[in-house]
Structure 1
Amino acid sequence: MSSTGGTRRLLDPRLRILIENNVKKNHRSFIVLVGDRSRDRIPGLYYLLSHARDKLNSRRSVLWCYKKDLGFSSHRKKREQKAKQNQKLGKPNDDEFDLFINSADVRYTYYKETEKILGQTFEMCILQDFEAITPNLLARTIETVEGGGLVILMLKTMNSLKQLYSMTMDVHSRYRSTTGGSVVARFNERFILSLASCSDCLILDDELNVLPISRGKDIVPLDEDEMESAEGRTVEKELNDLKSSVEDKLSSDLVKLTKTVDQAQALLTFISTLQEKTLTSTVTLTAARGRGKSAALGLAVASAIAHGYSNIFITSPSPENLKTFWAFVGDGLKALGYVINVDYDAMESVSPEVGKGVIVRVNVWKTHRQTIQWIQPQDAHVLGQAELVIIDEAAAIPLPLVKNLLGPYLVFMASTINGYEGTGRSLSLKLVQQLRENTRPTISKAPAADESAALTSLSGTHSKKGGGALSGVASKARTLKEIQLHVPIRYSSGDQVEKWLNGLLCLDASSLPRSTIYSGSPKDCQLFSVSRDTLFSYHPASELFLQRMIALYVASHYKNQPNDLQLMSDAPQHRLFVLLPPIADDENVLPDPIAVVQVVMEGLISKEAILDSLSRGLRAGGDMIPWLVSQQFQENKFAQLSGARVIRIAVHPDYTRMGFGARTLEALNAFYSGEYLNLDEVPQSNPSVSFEKAAKVSKNANLYEESLGLRDVTTMPPLLQRLTEIQPPSLDYLGVSYGLTPSLLKFWKRAGYIPLYVRQTPSDLTGEFTCVMLRGIGTGEGPGKSPYVDWLTEFAKDFRARFISLLSYRFREFGSVLGLQVLEAANGGTRDPDGHELESKELAVLISSFDIKRLESYANNMLDYHVILDLLPTLAGLYFKRRLIAPKSESDATADGSARERTVKLSSLQRAMLLAMGLQRKTIEEAGEELSLQPNQVLAEFAKIIKKMCAVLQLIQRVAVVSDMPQIGKLSVDDVGPDGQLERMDEELEEAAKEVRRDLRAQYAADEEMADGPVVNNDKKARQREFINSLDLSQYAIGDSIDLSSAQSQVSKLTQGTNGTNLSSIISVKSNAAPIKRKAQAMEEEATDKNKKTRRGGGKKIKK
């Protein structure tokens, strides 16, 4: 019976039968209430649940989740004060809702704080404010309800449930961008239709009347014979047999507290690891929710206390997540004979930040002092004396923090891996895989476990540089044991609410079906566009295809969470594509996707919005790459371009590393380049009905008469559409953002993508650095072949220079090989570096002549490497900026003189070594450890690097000397020595002597003409010719042992001092030839005197 305004009405019997049946089966019931007065129906449902459990007098735990406003006061004292006031005024206090609040143990929590309820169990869960609910919140809250419990969802008054199809959810604000596009609530349609298919769900109005969508459900009472199935009796017998087979009393006392065979085997594995006492073991316990992970950890800690472990630490996202753990620690200690307040006590927190009344420490003193201490996940530095560390709900802790918690002690780790927390797959795919690689084969002393426990001991080799996962771990290799729990404990197997939730959120998609093997070439596969209107229509064929797509995501991508499903369905700018093997047109079988790619359209932002955001240092939501590039490069035109960002690309595990991923990206680029478009195949009319029209509510809609169901298949667009039938949007680039790893960088580099940004802080979730890469669309000679465009080249150059400078800061954490891969990928976006050669003037500023002498001496094994260590950053910067290029010389005239050919040639090992020591400023030992080389091997390669670089620097100097000495004649590089000194001086001086002869002949000829006028006697010419021929040129002779050092020094000083301008060509040379009296000088003086006398005697007198 139900009461409304003092009148009592008969309830639909199916509601009572549903709750009673599920209490008997230990399953959960799901009730949806539609109407503004839904809150008033909560007490009646609570009392139905209490009556079914035969515990009318007990206080039941209730979880009430809401957005902001609860709608009533949850303060108990205020409610009591109001009741007293009503009593004084003579008003009755028979409000059912007040009685419910006072009699139940209600836990109120905001949706944004639901992380605190992980690991806890409630008998009833109430969800209000439907617009604030997300898939993550659904999974997190519903799974806290135990078997026989009740899940209640409250909706507001509406004329039709179709109004939910167009309801604006709070999360939709994140999907909008400046380019517009309406959000379509496809997920809500699928959610409502899925509720109709859940056999343990009833949709009622606020008068508890069953609505038409649930009216067809036939719910009848269970027979007593159905209560205990043969399977249940078999499982119970196996558990009893296992409990009785344990001979050790300590283990036996604890195993008796377990509920399933899985849990008992997991506990025995924990106990056997504790008995080994090697402190080098890691045990991972993974399972879905409600399988008893926290209980098994609590019993294992009780066993550790009995085995004498003194320093035990437990960590979790919040201490409130450990209620189940602490409860089973107490149960385990009690089973082992420990008495609270006599042998141990529990300390509760008094800090409001941690949570008042929450247990954070247990002290045991029965045999000696032992402690069980809770710590925050970021407090790994306090584990110096730890002997056992427990990590509960590891999937909800960021991966870098989990890695830091591993060390030289026993580690027990429990985690939910089916995507509820978002990092579950990250844990299973990354951390556990790394642990496998860092373990060695061992002979396990644990008792043999059933296949359901999946106990394995895997092998590998320990590495000191395990990416942080095993930082601080002793050099001993560790043993890894993996346990999985499959049988639920919180509720019985076959729970329909769990089945519904797993189907709605694709949580069981990790069990990837075996695909039909395709053995053909990736080039024969075709890329198809997926219609989201059809994919999320809840049609059986669409559901099957959706499950297969999500299965590829789960198997290939580690960042999966239920919220991704709503993003994929509702976001307006997202597009889905699948790569399928060749299929015939008349084939009716739904093909298995080989690869799935999800992209989002970005860009086309107005110039005003860009300038406004850049001026204020802000950025709008969405359009990640346009805003990021605009901020990083302060370029406002880039955001006006149109692009597409690849969010995810997942390849079936059977086809990885076979070229199918590259084929998917190639086809995607070809599609957006317009290569696939065939106007003859584009349909002229579209007979399908859009989701917006199908979701429109008629004016005469009635909640009690409507019939919701699947949309007509003929009105829906085709699920898969060929790209030749679609007009592609006009794009300028394709981009991607991902967590930087060597394998992913190699994949995107091969696809023609160029890095433009690497975030300087690692992700809190995975510890990886975000990398953004771009490629152009449809540029180059071939259609869609070249990723280079002018603006991309300039961005790549700027990124390369910034990345080189940042390698000695936070990017010092990168391995040298990874840093080298990033630089090579950035160089792929720049053209040949002709015209950017290092000039001698710039070289003189960066490296002095003394520095070059040091480099030359080190290259000749005359100095220690510490002497030139200060020059490494400069040399490495010049090399990786591709400035260290040998200059052109006359000998290169007939050869290929491109800058790329004249660049210093270093091997891959030498480049990695130069980057590590020069740019990252790592020591010889650090570089050798990264490259698996001994220090002497590193020094040997290092000397080769310096020798090659020194040769280029010397050549640059030699060419500079040639170009700066034009008066000495035409010189070539071959005429200059390694230190800038001139060679073949004899030939040059001989040429100078010939010039002197010519000058003297011309000078004396001019003197004679001036003295004698235009007529010149033959005897005078004969005397002049005799005078010239009699000149002694031995003064210009230079012996073999001559000292040229002073002359060379003079040339160098003049060259450096004047930069080659107004340079005197006169040099001083010391000679061992004896000085002689020059006959020519005497003859010249004699002839001059005669001419003077002749002019005095024969000349006319001139009057002044």
Structure 2
Amino acid sequence: MRKKIDARIRTLVENCVKLRQRGLFVVIGDKARDQVVNLHYMLSKASVKARPSVLWCYKKDLYMSSHRKKRMGQIKKLMQRGLLDPENEDPFSLFVASTSIRYAYYHETQNILGNTFGMCVLQDFEALTPNLLARTVETVEGGGLVVMLLSGLSSLTQLFTVTMDVHSRLRTESHQDVVGRFNERMVLSLASNPNCLLMDDELNVLPTSSLIKYIEPVPLNADGAPANDPSRASASELRDLCDSLADTQPAGSLLAKCKTLDQARSVVTFLDAASEKTLRSTVALTASRGRGKSAALGLAIAGALGLGYANIFVTAPSPENLKTLFEFVFKGLDALDYKEHIDYDLVESTNPAFGRAIVRVNVYRNHRQTVQYIQPQHHAKLAQAELLVIDEAAAIPLPTVRQLLGPYLVFLCSTVNGYEGTGRSLSLKLIQQLREQGAKLASSDAVGASGSAGRTFREVTLNEPIRYAPGDPVEKWLHELLCLDANAHVPRPPTKLPHPEECQLYYVERDTLFSYHKASERFLQSMVSLYVASHYKNTPNDLILMSDAPAHHLFVLLGPVDESANVLPDILAVVQVALEGAISRASARTSLAKGDLPQGDLVPWTISQQFQDADFPSLSGARVVRIAVHPELPRAGYGSRAVEQLKRYYQGDITRMDDASDDDEAGGSGGRGGGTAAEGKKRKGGRAEGDGDKGSTLRTETVTPRAGLPPLLVNLSDRPPERLHYLAVSYGLTQQLFNFWRRVGFEPLYLRQSASETTGENTVVMLRPLQHPEVADSEWLRPFVEDFKGR
């Protein structure tokens, strides 16, 4: 039976195409898959270019085999059973046969990075993680659609309690009750995205899509362009820049390959530095994902070859990461009239682990020139280098990047946010150091000094996206949901800095933090921005640990709080702890005997395995997962104050006297349960609208943030602590960090013999014993420390 489709669906698809923005469609119902055909048809009709390609991501089981021959066999079996009429083939089979579809398991989605699709379909919602969401959505081009399929649901609020696959990795023996706060926040955030539309499997628009209620078609000018297109001015400036440098080679030919004004300006900056041919010069390029960093580096390398550079080295975590870079090296060479096999040839890797990635380009038009890939740790091979290009420098350990710098021109680029989430540390540490050196060199040149010991430094930032238009609502929604745009939310330090002794540690109520209220959102963004500014590596998946992990708890250090002021307090430090231990002796002995240690409980399993002590896991402790101090307030004593307050809290020194009788009930079990039972009771109080009504249906419910939430910040004296035996920390060993943890009373018990591939540092585990009513010997940790020192 034919049915008239809601005009708002078609209008949103057409508006996305006109504005080069992406649309997000959430289809709920057991037949959601069938509506992909209709959405793709509407997208094809609205697009003037070729039929959009599709990326289809799934966990394990597809609706039908992705292998064409196997699929034909399945269709043949259906025909033999009389379940398929060959004369009246269903639209979905026609869609599959006539569309270019790339199928990808979720665990293989790293292989689709750098590719671009017109539509992305995400099925098996329970397998999604923040990393996967960011990785897949970013592959969709402007004017494309992201379609999420949710089957087996009769209400949106059922998503709040869906058991996600990632939850199994968050449970430990003593902390089993996972609360799906991330899902709740994600569902609530969909209503704030103007390019998001929620509908059932019959294409009925759901009331939650309130912003789409009065959507109007975008008006077009006489030339067919949108009336208010912000990218037109940028495109005009790009044309003017290309025209002004058309007679300047190699810049004139290379700029014609640039897609945005920002990208063209970055290539000009690279070529300016290359044309000077001075030693000890660095150009740093930072940007979010999808801004064309690797393409700009590739064009810059082609320009350097045109300027006569003979020995160019390129490094990245893996040569597979350089696919886009080398693609644009060749595009640049083609623009400069170089011919493959005549003027240059390429060499692919013979290492199976690198998958035939390009590792060398030999150029011999005027004289012998090479572009050679080297692994980051092989910095000793750079003796004859004239130019070194470091792609995705933030994914390389910071000490290694420093060793790569030398007496040659250096181009480096880094992602400062995005799903990798690794770039903030590099921008803060290495780039800040290079910036200071460059400033010193400039001042010394001004007074006539030599300045040969420093490096000149230039910095370029790309803001305009390549795949889609600036200001894309789906990008804004994704960045806010996953807290990716950390640079914009780093809180300002207070104008009057309080003395550390005046500061107090507060417990953060996670139900309220992830409730999607406006004040809670600002506080969450500020907390994550401090994480990113202070820690070496962050990924969106860290948000799941913060929100859903039953053993994890959050604290913030605040200055004196004026409760009458209607503003959020200034955050001086954030502490995230994971309750560990309280493992039964039987489980510990069984796991140690098998050598198969469960996930979680990092410190108990590490120490028990190292010292062959099956009793240690039965002790309860709190591991400091992260402690992030405001980046503008280092060494001010706030980190030490936070750790000291944490120690006093878990020892029971802060709890009010009238609550002392409740301590054993709250935490006397040695941390078992981690307070999740109490949290579960609190969560039953306020629910999203429509969840509690049995008659509520998908088409009538409106999902809104819960009411009756507890306060966001809880004074430690108002929350009974879990009584613990020790505080612990595990981190990459550096002299500065070791001095800090020793100063606050921690003792080393374990040092990993091999360095981490991520950080280039050796992991160390340190503990500090706490006073516990069940432990008479306060020196119980001393034998472990002496044993460690004697090794």
Relative to the length of structure 2, the TM-score reads: 0.88
How far residue 631 of structure 1 moved from its aligned partner, in angstroms, is 1.3
- 1:115–1:486 Cα change, 3 Å: same
More helix by share: 1
Please show how residues 1023-1034 of structure 1 align to structure 2 within 5 Å: none
Query: Equivalent residue for 1:62?
Result: 54
How far residue 568 of structure 1 moved from its aligned partner, in angstroms, is 0.4
- 1:737–1:122 Cα change, 3 Å: same
Cα offsets for 1:1047-1074 (capped at 9, x unmatched): xxxxxxxxxxxxxxxxxxxxxxxxxxxx
Query: Equivalent residue for 1:733?
Result: 726
Task: Determine if contact 2:19/2:229 at 8 Å carries over to the other structure.
Answer: no
How far residue 193 of structure 1 moved from its aligned partner, in angstroms, is 0.5
How far residue 669 of structure 1 moved from its aligned partner, in angstroms, is 1.3
2:461 pairs, out of 462, 471, 484, with 484
Q: Quote the Cα distance in structure 2 between the aligned partners of 1:386 and 1:584.
A: 59
Query: Equivalent residue for 1:836?
Result: none
Matched, 1:644 2:638: no
Matched, 1:143 2:121: no
- 1:81–1:137 Cα change, 3 Å: same
1:770 pairs, out of 763, 773, 778, with 763
Task: Determine if contact 2:309/2:386 at 8 Å carries over to the other structure.
Answer: yes
Corresponding pairs, count: 760
Query: Equivalent residue for 1:112?
Result: 107
- The one-letter code matched in structure 2 to 1:30 is L
How far residue 719 of structure 1 moved from its aligned partner, in angstroms, is 0.9
Query: Equivalent residue for 1:612?
Result: 590
My pick for the range that moved more, 18-27 or 549-558, is 549-558
Query: Equivalent residue for 1:219?
Result: 215
Cα offsets for 1:487-529 (capped at 9, x unmatched): 2222111110111011101111222232432333221122111
How far residue 60 of structure 1 moved from its aligned partner, in angstroms, is 3.1
- 1:374–1:84 Cα change, 3 Å: farther
Task: Determine if contact 1:538/1:710 at 8 Å carries over to the other structure.
Answer: yes
Task: Determine if contact 1:398/1:423 at 8 Å carries over to the other structure.
Answer: no
Cα offsets for 1:945-981 (capped at 9, x unmatched): xxxxxxxxxxxxxxxxxxxxxxxxxxxxxxxxxxxxx
Q: Quote the Cα distance in structure 2 between the aligned partners of 1:355 and 1:487.
A: 32
How far residue 344 of structure 1 moved from its aligned partner, in angstroms, is 4.0
- 1:497–1:364 Cα change, 3 Å: same
Please show how residues 945-956 of structure 1 align to structure 2 within 5 Å: none
Please show how residues 247-266 of structure 1 align to structure 2 within 5 Å: 248-266=248-266
- The one-letter code matched in structure 2 to 1:798 is D
How far residue 530 of structure 1 moved from its aligned partner, in angstroms, is 1.0
- The one-letter code matched in structure 1 to 2:415 is T
Query: Equivalent residue for 1:631?
Result: 609
How far residue 80 of structure 1 moved from its aligned partner, in angstroms, is 5.7
Task: Determine if contact 1:423/1:765 at 8 Å carries over to the other structure.
Answer: no
How far residue 266 of structure 1 moved from its aligned partner, in angstroms, is 1.0
- The one-letter code matched in structure 1 to 2:220 is E
SS of corresponding position for 2:574: strand
How far residue 573 of structure 1 moved from its aligned partner, in angstroms, is 1.1
1:691 pairs, out of 660, 678, 683, with 683
- 1:119–1:47 Cα change, 3 Å: same
Query: Equivalent residue for 2:711?
Result: 718
Query: Equivalent residue for 2:241?
Result: 242
Matched, 1:791 2:771: no
Query: Equivalent residue for 2:269?
Result: 269
SS of corresponding position for 1:330: helix
Query: Equivalent residue for 2:199?
Result: 204
Task: Determine if contact 2:29/2:201 at 8 Å carries over to the other structure.
Answer: yes
How far residue 672 of structure 1 moved from its aligned partner, in angstroms, is 1.4
Task: Determine if contact 2:192/2:211 at 8 Å carries over to the other structure.
Answer: no
Q: Quote the Cα distance in structure 2 between the aligned partners of 1:302 and 1:93.
A: 55
Instruction: Give unmatched runs, 5+ long, in structure 2.
Output: 667-677
SS of corresponding position for 1:30: strand
My pick for the range that moved more, 171-180 or 279-288, is 279-288
Query: Equivalent residue for 2:673?
Result: none
Task: Determine if contact 1:159/1:701 at 8 Å carries over to the other structure.
Answer: no
My pick for the range that moved more, 82-91 or 148-157, is 82-91
Relative to the length of structure 1, the TM-score reads: 0.64
Q: Quote the Cα distance in structure 2 between the aligned partners of 1:204 and 1:282.
A: 51
Query: Equivalent residue for 1:32?
Result: 26
Task: Determine if contact 2:723/2:772 at 8 Å carries over to the other structure.
Answer: no
Please show how residues 179-578 of structure 1 align to structure 2 within 5 Å: 179-214=174-209, 217=212, 218-224=214-220, 227-229=226-228, 232-246=231-245, 248-278=248-278, 280-317=280-317, 321-340=321-340, 342-345=342-345, 353-355=353-355, 362-373=361-372, 386-397=385-396, 409-433=408-432, 478-511=455-488, 512-578=490-556
Q: Quote the Cα distance in structure 1 between the aligned partners of 2:14 and 2:456.
A: 48
Instruction: Give unmatched runs, 5+ long, in structure 1.
Output: 1-6, 445-456, 463-474, 781-786, 803-1104
Task: Determine if contact 1:527/1:723 at 8 Å carries over to the other structure.
Answer: yes
How far residue 544 of structure 1 moved from its aligned partner, in angstroms, is 1.2
Query: Equivalent residue for 1:703?
Result: 698
Matched, 1:758 2:751: yes
How far residue 656 of structure 1 moved from its aligned partner, in angstroms, is 2.4
- 1:687–1:259 Cα change, 3 Å: closer
How far residue 76 of structure 1 moved from its aligned partner, in angstroms, is 3.0
Cα offsets for 1:791-815 (capped at 9, x unmatched): 211111111111xxxxxxxxxxxxx
Q: Quote the Cα distance in structure 2 between the aligned partners of 1:75 and 1:687.
A: 47
How far residue 740 of structure 1 moved from its aligned partner, in angstroms, is 1.3
SS of corresponding position for 2:623: strand
Task: Determine if contact 2:29/2:154 at 8 Å carries over to the other structure.
Answer: no
- 1:214–1:600 Cα change, 3 Å: same
2:36 pairs, out of 33, 42, 50, with 42
My pick for the range that moved more, 329-338 or 385-394, is 385-394
SS of corresponding position for 2:299: helix
SS of corresponding position for 1:578: strand
Q: Quote the Cα distance in structure 2 between the aligned partners of 1:86 and 1:634.
A: 59
How far residue 359 of structure 1 moved from its aligned partner, in angstroms, is 5.5
SS of corresponding position for 2:215: coil
- The one-letter code matched in structure 2 to 1:717 is P
How far residue 206 of structure 1 moved from its aligned partner, in angstroms, is 2.1
Query: Equivalent residue for 1:21?
Result: 15
- 1:14–1:577 Cα change, 3 Å: same
Q: Quote the Cα distance in structure 2 between the aligned partners of 1:404 and 1:110.
A: 38
- 1:556–1:65 Cα change, 3 Å: same
Q: Quote the Cα distance in structure 2 between the aligned partners of 1:40 and 1:350.
A: 44
How far residue 373 of structure 1 moved from its aligned partner, in angstroms, is 4.8
- 1:461–1:646 Cα change, 3 Å: farther
Q: Quote the Cα distance in structure 2 between the aligned partners of 1:295 and 1:593.
A: 39
Query: Equivalent residue for 1:122?
Result: 117
Aligned-residue sequence identity (percent) comes to: 54
How far residue 105 of structure 1 moved from its aligned partner, in angstroms, is 3.0
Q: Quote the Cα distance in structure 1 between the aligned partners of 2:473 and 2:785.
A: 55
How far residue 641 of structure 1 moved from its aligned partner, in angstroms, is 1.5
- 1:555–1:395 Cα change, 3 Å: closer
- The one-letter code matched in structure 2 to 1:532 is R
How far residue 550 of structure 1 moved from its aligned partner, in angstroms, is 1.2
- 1:272–1:495 Cα change, 3 Å: same
Task: Determine if contact 1:682/1:725 at 8 Å carries over to the other structure.
Answer: no
- 1:664–1:84 Cα change, 3 Å: closer
Cα offsets for 1:744-776 (capped at 9, x unmatched): 112111111111111111111111111211112
- The one-letter code matched in structure 2 to 1:591 is P
Q: Quote the Cα distance in structure 1 between the aligned partners of 2:42 and 2:418.
A: 33
How far residue 616 of structure 1 moved from its aligned partner, in angstroms, is 2.3
Task: Determine if contact 1:120/1:321 at 8 Å carries over to the other structure.
Answer: no
2:64 pairs, out of 64, 72, 92, with 72
Cα offsets for 1:259-309 (capped at 9, x unmatched): 333212210121122223345433321100121112211211221221233
More strand by share: 2
Higher relative contact order (CA 8 A, sep 6+): 2
- 1:633–1:47 Cα change, 3 Å: same
Please show how residues 871-882 of structure 1 align to structure 2 within 5 Å: none
Cα offsets for 1:429-452 (capped at 9, x unmatched): 4444565678795569xxxxxxxx
Give me the CA root mean square deviation. 3.5
Q: Quote the Cα distance in structure 2 between the aligned partners of 1:778 and 1:87.
A: 73
Q: Quote the Cα distance in structure 1 between the aligned partners of 2:208 and 2:418.
A: 30
